[in-house]
Amino acid sequence: MDMEGLSSICASLGILEEDETTKQMIYTKGEHCLDALKDLLRFLRRDDPETREVFKQVCRWNIVSKDLIPIIEHCQHDRNLVLNAVKVLVFLSMPIEPSSSDIPQQIEYLWNMKFSLTSSDAVAVIVSLLEGPLENLECELFTEDDWKLVQLVLTLFRNILSIQDISSLQKAGQFLSLRDRFLELLFRENVMDLIIVITQQIGGSRGYLRQDNLLLLDIFHYIFMGQDPELLAKAHLKRSEEGGDAKACIDDLKSIMEEEAKKRRVSRLQHTNRHSQFSGTFTRFTVGGSTVVVKGNPNYASQNTLLKSHGGHGISTGHGDLPLMRKNILALLHDFVNQFLSGGYNVFMKSVREDIEKEHHTVQKGDIIVFFKVAEFVTSFQYHKCLASKPSDGTAASEASADNCADDSFFQGDVCGPIAASMNESMFQLVISSWRNAFEGLKETNDYKFLSAASSLLKNMIRMCNLVLKLFPEDSKEPLTARILLYKLFYDQTDQGMTQFILNQIKMFNSRKQPKSDLADLVEMMHVIMQLMENLQARGLLRVSRKSRKGKKKAASETVTKSKQFEDHAAAPDVDGSSVSERPAEYVGEQESPMKVASGLKEDTNTSPLVDGLGTSETKMGSPGDVPQVDDNAPGHADDNLCCCTDDSSDDEQAAAVNEVDFKVSSLISAFANCSFIQNLCWLLKFYRSNSSNTNQYIIGLLRKVTDDLELAPMLYQLSLLVTFYDILEEQKLSPSEDHADIVVFITSLVRKMLKKMKHQPLLFIEILFWKTRRECHYINAEYLLHELGHLKKGNRNQDSVPGNTEVESSEAPMNGFAEA
């Protein structure tokens, strides 16, 4: 990098000095200021994106606050000069490349730039540049030059809004205040209104603005980033003046302190050479009251308005934990989202969705994630808004114009009308297919962010459908449309359908690489889907498509060797009426569990279940507790074994066929009897304190389906799960909570029944080391029932028979002693 050339260019821009008479800061531009700006643009275009040396040096010299912003503020009459200054700002504020070096330092420079823009009048001048293009837009005289100018300004605002990452070396409190102040500035200067107006013109203006739909999508994404849609939707209910005076005083105090800091920084610009050799380590109090450690020259360090603090490395992107600090911003954003939904949202989102479906060359994978996040935020906002309003009758739901929503798959009402473009069948199919493709390519891409975005969006879409059925009368149009859409979504019950895909996502959840919130979303989706299916089934028969496949024909010699008792059990029909195929006998000695030895049956643990829709499955060991990852896609799965069939095939095996059958919710519930499914539910239950109350309720509800409806409680008799249950009971014993009472009741009942069985089945003490199949659970239950039946028969005998009673007591003594040990 030509340091001398860059230095001479920056020096040629001008000088910021204080007027001796007015005591105000004035800017005197250099003779070659315009040429210097163009040369600076050339330097920035040639800057290495990995090192960004030009960017760092320009920010180190504080060119933004010393030259660029003063040029925009004091040289408004020179339009060409202002435009070039804006172009330089666009290049300087471009998002950081993840592969670049010294990211924490770049983040700090960007925050300094955002602070300088927020504390100046530059935004008002920049917005005034759009006066001509907007007039031409209204008069339908919009030209390509107007479009380029609008694109330039929108790009600048996108870049500044995207400055939200906070390194772990920085404190979050002061950045939250700055984020809110910049949003407030955009509202004050009518930038947010301009964004809405431009969004509404996506379909017109000779197609120019259609090319910027992804740019506008980024803007909406960064506006919504870090906001809580539930809190935002309820903002209009909390517009009270309580605490307003105290909040205003705090905001005013922070503003005064920031103004004083700005004055001190400007004064130090004139004394940069003084004490230049001094360095050391000292502490300083931030606005939030915390102490930060500053190393180096205090003169230079004090010029950094946003101080760094020690405590870690890396970048924090947990924007969901950064709530808004000002209630007036909540109210403004609430009105902004409503305005967005009232006009422009459907047309805008439809244009982006069509580009994604057509695989437009400008659409990247990151753009699809942003699209999902924007749709997820707006859908969640509408959900909580309608949930808070709770209309009592159908009069609150007025139909929208048929001209605006001609597609029958669109919702046309107050609940889903504003978000019709993201609640139709095409949107569901796009989300599911994109999610499936991302999951299939996970080994190559390792991109779990896409899975998170897709699952969160689909959860809110399903919740919205469920809310429509609850809020409106059954004979109104909105529930009818919702039911038709749900019939289409639930029709495919093969492995390619939505229901089985979500179920498999729970089974194959990776707790090491995926966030806990993803599993919570999946569990909530499964809970709501089960409720929706029950409601649809209550209205009549639910017809679905399902793949069925007959098993291999076994040789007569092999069949004869099977015991009659095992044949009767294997021939028992599952929930769909199909039979369980037998397993070869060569695996008996290797994977036989203690409970099977006790049962006296020659059963092999490698029995391949009848799987609907999949020809082969693969079991992978290596999860916590050596839990196999069973790929079980059949809702009517009759036997969930630890190992599935291999890739062998024969001429006797018939190809899979798709049949339309009557669907019962019990067939879906039977698929919950899976060791991976149960293990992931109990793993999520470990975080019951941080989980939402609804999440804990969904977990317990699904586990009750396994223990009560399916009568497969022994599936939970596993050591790793028992450790989790013990920890929960111990914590609740020390500090009981009413919020977690349902969890305690479920675990207590489960453990008591398990200990009761262990008293008479001592081998269960060893069996808890292993994950159990459905068949093994039936054996445990059957043996306990036989014991209870025998005990009941003995109790009906003559109680005066002393030898008989003595024999019973002597036979039970060893078992009781083992259980007590």
Tens of pLDDT along 698-724?
999 999 999 999 999 999 999 999 999
Number of C-alpha atoms within 13 angstroms, CB side, residue 120? 22
pLDDT of residue 525: 95
Domain count within the chain: 1
Q: Which amino acid is at 67?
A: D
pLDDT of residue 303: 39
- Report the alpha-carbon distance of residue 610 to residue 340 in Å, rounded: 50
- Report the alpha-carbon distance of residue 121 to residue 72 in Å, rounded: 9
- Report the alpha-carbon distance of residue 527 to residue 462 in Å, rounded: 11
pLDDT of residue 110: 94
Closest CA to 300 of 277, 334, 327: 277
Two structure tokens written together for 564: 């009659």
pLDDT of residue 246: 52
pLDDT of residue 19: 75
Mapped onto helix, strand or coil, the DSSP state of residue 615 is coil
DSSP conformational letter for 30: -
pLDDT of 301 above 50: no
pLDDT of residue 724: 95
- Report the alpha-carbon distance of residue 818 to residue 762 in Å, rounded: 6
**Mean predicted confidence (pLDDT) in 162-187:** 80
Q: Are 117 and 184 in contact (CB under 8 A)?
A: no
Closest CA to 110 of 48, 175, 155: 175
pLDDT of 107 above 70: yes
Distances (CA, A) of 371 to 40, 319, 340, 420, 552: 34, 17, 15, 15, 47
Record the pTM: 0.74
Q: Which residues of 547-586 are buried (b: 16+ CB within 10 A; e: fewer)?
A: bbbebbeeeeeeeeebeeeeeebbeeebbbebebbbbeee
Paired strand residues for 308: 170
Q: Of 18-22, 134-138, 487-491, which range is least confident?
A: 18-22
The most confident of 164-168, 442-446, 569-573, 699-703, by mean pLDDT: 699-703
- For residue range 194-217, list pLDDT tens digits in order: 999 999 888 765 678 888 999 999
pLDDT tier for residue 587 given thresholds of 50, 70 and 90: very low
Which tops the pLDDT comparison, 776 or 410? Answer: 776
Residue 726 belongs to some domain of the structure: yes
pLDDT of 278 above 90: no
Which tops the pLDDT comparison, 794 or 276? Answer: 794
- Tokens 């360090």 identify what position? 301
pLDDT of residue 209: 85
DSSP conformational letter for 64: I
Which tops the pLDDT comparison, 487 or 793? Answer: 487
Q: Of 36-50, 463-477, 773-787, 804-818, which range is least confident?
A: 804-818
pLDDT of residue 328: 82
- For residue range 533-575, list pLDDT tens digits in order: 988 888 877 788 877 655 554 444 444 444 444 344 434 444 3
Residues 634, 638, 640, 643, Cα dihedral to 10°: -90
pLDDT of 608 above 80: no
Residue 207 belongs to some domain of the structure: no
**Mean predicted confidence (pLDDT) in 315-334:** 63
Two structure tokens written together for 290: 């915390």
Distances (CA, A) of 618 to 512, 631, 646, 647: 21, 7, 7, 8
Two structure tokens written together for 122: 């530059």
Paired strand residues for 547: 658
Q: Are 777 and 713 in contact (CB under 8 A)?
A: yes
Residue 248 belongs to some domain of the structure: no
pLDDT of residue 292: 54
β-bridge pairing 166-167 and 315-316: antiparallel
**Mean predicted confidence (pLDDT) in 144-156:** 93
The most confident of 369-378, 391-400, 602-611, 755-764, by mean pLDDT: 369-378
pLDDT of 24 above 50: yes
The most confident of 25-29, 129-133, 586-590, by mean pLDDT: 129-133
Residue 444 belongs to some domain of the structure: no
- Report the alpha-carbon distance of residue 600 to residue 588 in Å, rounded: 12
pLDDT of 26 above 60: yes
- Report the alpha-carbon distance of residue 482 to residue 142 in Å, rounded: 41
pLDDT of residue 529: 93
pLDDT tier for residue 9 given thresholds of 50, 70 and 90: very high
pLDDT of residue 249: 55
Report the first-to-last Cα separation within the chain, whole angstroms: 77
pLDDT of 670 above 80: yes
Q: Are 453 and 372 in contact (CB under 8 A)?
A: yes
- By residue range, what is the domain housing residue 760? 675-687+711-820
- Report the alpha-carbon distance of residue 161 to residue 186 in Å, rounded: 10
Residue 692 belongs to some domain of the structure: no
CB neighbours of residue 230 within 10 Å: 14
Provide the percentage of residues in the chain whose pLDDT is more than 70: 68
pLDDT of 432 above 80: yes
pLDDT of 135 above 60: yes
pLDDT tier for residue 281 given thresholds of 50, 70 and 90: low
Q: Of 241-250, 635-644, 652-661, which range is least confident?
A: 635-644
pLDDT of residue 536: 86
Q: Of 430-444, 548-562, 775-789, which range is least confident?
A: 548-562
Provide the percentage of residues in the chain whose pLDDT is more than 90: 45
- Report the alpha-carbon distance of residue 372 to residue 702 in Å, rounded: 28
Distances (CA, A) of 803 to 14, 94, 171, 613: 113, 92, 80, 59
Residue 796 belongs to some domain of the structure: yes
Burial class (CB in 10 A: 0-12, 13-18, 19+), 426: middle
pLDDT tier for residue 577 given thresholds of 50, 70 and 90: very low
Closest CA to 330 of 255, 478, 259, 230: 230
**Mean predicted confidence (pLDDT) in 160-173:** 75
pLDDT of 34 above 70: yes
pLDDT of residue 787: 84
CB neighbours of residue 616 within 10 Å: 13
The most confident of 277-291, 510-524, 594-608, by mean pLDDT: 510-524
Q: Of 302-316, 747-761, 796-810, which range is least confident?
A: 302-316
- Report the alpha-carbon distance of residue 308 to residue 780 in Å, rounded: 61
Q: Of 9-23, 178-192, 514-528, 767-781, which range is least confident?
A: 9-23
- For residue range 448-487, list pLDDT tens digits in order: 999 999 999 999 999 999 999 988 888 888 888 888 888 8
Residue 501 belongs to some domain of the structure: no
Burial class (CB in 10 A: 0-12, 13-18, 19+), 480: middle
- Report the alpha-carbon distance of residue 36 to residue 40 in Å, rounded: 6
- Report the alpha-carbon distance of residue 712 to residue 771 in Å, rounded: 12
pLDDT of 655 above 70: no
- Report the alpha-carbon distance of residue 767 to residue 364 in Å, rounded: 51
**Mean predicted confidence (pLDDT) in 172-195:** 87
Residue 761 belongs to some domain of the structure: yes
**Helix (H) / strand (E) containing 28:** strand 25-29
Two structure tokens written together for 386: 């309608």
**Mean pLDDT rounded to a whole number for the chain:** 76
- Tokens 């506008």 identify what position? 216
Beta-carbon contacts of 89 under 8 Å, excluding residues fewer than 6 positions away, are 64, 68, 113, 117, 156
pLDDT of 42 above 50: yes
DSSP conformational letter for 636: T
**Mean predicted confidence (pLDDT) in 403-432:** 69
- Report the alpha-carbon distance of residue 489 to residue 589 in Å, rounded: 44
- Report the alpha-carbon distance of residue 496 to residue 503 in Å, rounded: 11
pLDDT tier for residue 794 given thresholds of 50, 70 and 90: confident
Beta-carbon contacts of 164 under 8 Å, excluding residues fewer than 6 positions away, are 179, 222, 225, 226, 319
The most confident of 23-32, 256-265, 345-354, 807-816, by mean pLDDT: 345-354
**Mean predicted confidence (pLDDT) in 276-282:** 53
Which tops the pLDDT comparison, 386 or 460? Answer: 460
For 645-787, list the strands marked E by DSSP.
657-663
Q: Are 674 and 507 in contact (CB under 8 A)?
A: yes
Two structure tokens written together for 752: 């008591």
Q: Are 123 and 185 in contact (CB under 8 A)?
A: yes
Distances (CA, A) of 443 to 430, 437, 440, 446, 500: 22, 12, 8, 6, 21
pLDDT of residue 171: 59
- Report the alpha-carbon distance of residue 549 to residue 656 in Å, rounded: 5
Mapped onto helix, strand or coil, the DSSP state of residue 447 is coil
pLDDT of 438 above 60: yes
